[in-house]
Amino acid sequence: MMPKRSSPACLRNQQPIYEQLSIYFKHCTNVLEIGSGTGQHAVFFAEKMPYLTWHTSDMPENHECIAAWIDGSSLKNVRSPITFTIGQDKWPDVGLDGVFTANTTHIMQPHEAEVMMKLVAENLPTGGIFCQYGPMKIDGDFTSASNKDFDDSLRERGYGGIRDIEQLIDWGKGMNLQNRIPMPANNFLLIWKK
Q: Residue 131, SS3?
A: strand
pTM (2 decimals)? 0.95
Task: State pLDDT tens for residues 127-173.
Answer: 999 999 999 999 999 999 999 999 999 999 999 999 999 999 999 99
Chain-centroid distance of CA 173 in Å reads 18
pLDDT band at 1 (very low <50, low <70, confident <90, very high): low
- To the question of domain 8-193 being in CATH 3.40.50.150, the answer is yes
Pairing mode of beta strands 53-58, 98-102? unpaired
List, in order, residues 6 or more apart from 60 with CB less than 8 Å away: 83
Q: Residue 133, SS3?
A: strand
- As a dihedral over the C-alpha atoms of residue 172, residue 175, residue 178, residue 182, rounded to 10 degrees, the angle is -30
R_g over Cα of the chain: 16
Task: State pLDDT tens for residues 69-116.
Answer: 999 999 999 999 999 999 999 999 888 999 999 999 999 999 999 999
CA distance linking residue 193 with residue 128, whole number of Å: 6
Domain borders along the chain are: 8-193
